[in-house]
Amino acid sequence: MTPTEFHEEVAQPNMEHSLHHPDDVRALVNAVLTLDALAGLIHAHGRAAGVPAMAKHEADDRYRDDLAAVSRSYRVLRDLAASLKHGALDPKRAKARLVRNGGAVQSVANGLGLFQCGDSIGGEVLVVELDDGPGYVRASTLVADSYRMLKRIVDGGPADLDEGDHFTRAGEP
């Protein structure tokens, strides 16, 4: 399956479902895991085609590191995907992680600082607690920001942020 096919058939539908259901853990996990898988497919196809940004890395984890350096949202999504796949990540390992276990996903009352246009009043949303200090990020923000960057790459553009990216954590602008 090509990155374009995977994007159209799996990643985009899962992303859209999770954004329409910001309180659904299953939808979030599906979106997180498929967006992270999309990064792996992008790397594999880019490496096979000799794309320099991907060909320089034999392993897709190094390519994911490059993407994480561009987007803090993708960095959290990557770490959450790894923690979900492995159950928990060893804090003694060399790679610094912002999320080390799937328990970082929490359902909270959707209120000041989290509420977005289109949310139902009085509902709940999912957030991801960060390991590097007190703070969290709305899970749908990670999904939307990461999706936009990956979609740009699938369409032949660079890994980059855009005006829609708005990663924040509690206490930060």
Written as six digits, the tokens of 65 are 């590191």
Rounded to whole angstroms, how far apart are CA atoms 31 and 142? 10
Whole-Å CA distances, 158 to 33, 39, 53, 155: 22, 13, 9, 9
CA dihedral defined by 145, 147, 153, 158, rounded to 10 degrees? 0
Whole-Å CA distances, 35 to 10, 80, 135, 137, 150: 9, 11, 23, 17, 8
Looking at residue 72, its pLDDT comes to 87
**pTM of the model as a whole:** 0.83
pLDDT, tens digit, 9 for 90 and up, residues 112-136: 555 555 556 667 778 778 876 667 7
pLDDT, tens digit, 9 for 90 and up, residues 27-62: 999 999 999 999 999 999 999 999 888 889 988 989
> Three-state SS string across 92-151, please?
CCCCCCCCCEHHHEEEEECCCCCCCCCCCCCCEEEEEECCCCCCEEEHHHHHHHHHHHHH
Rounded to whole angstroms, how far apart are CA atoms 121 and 118? 9
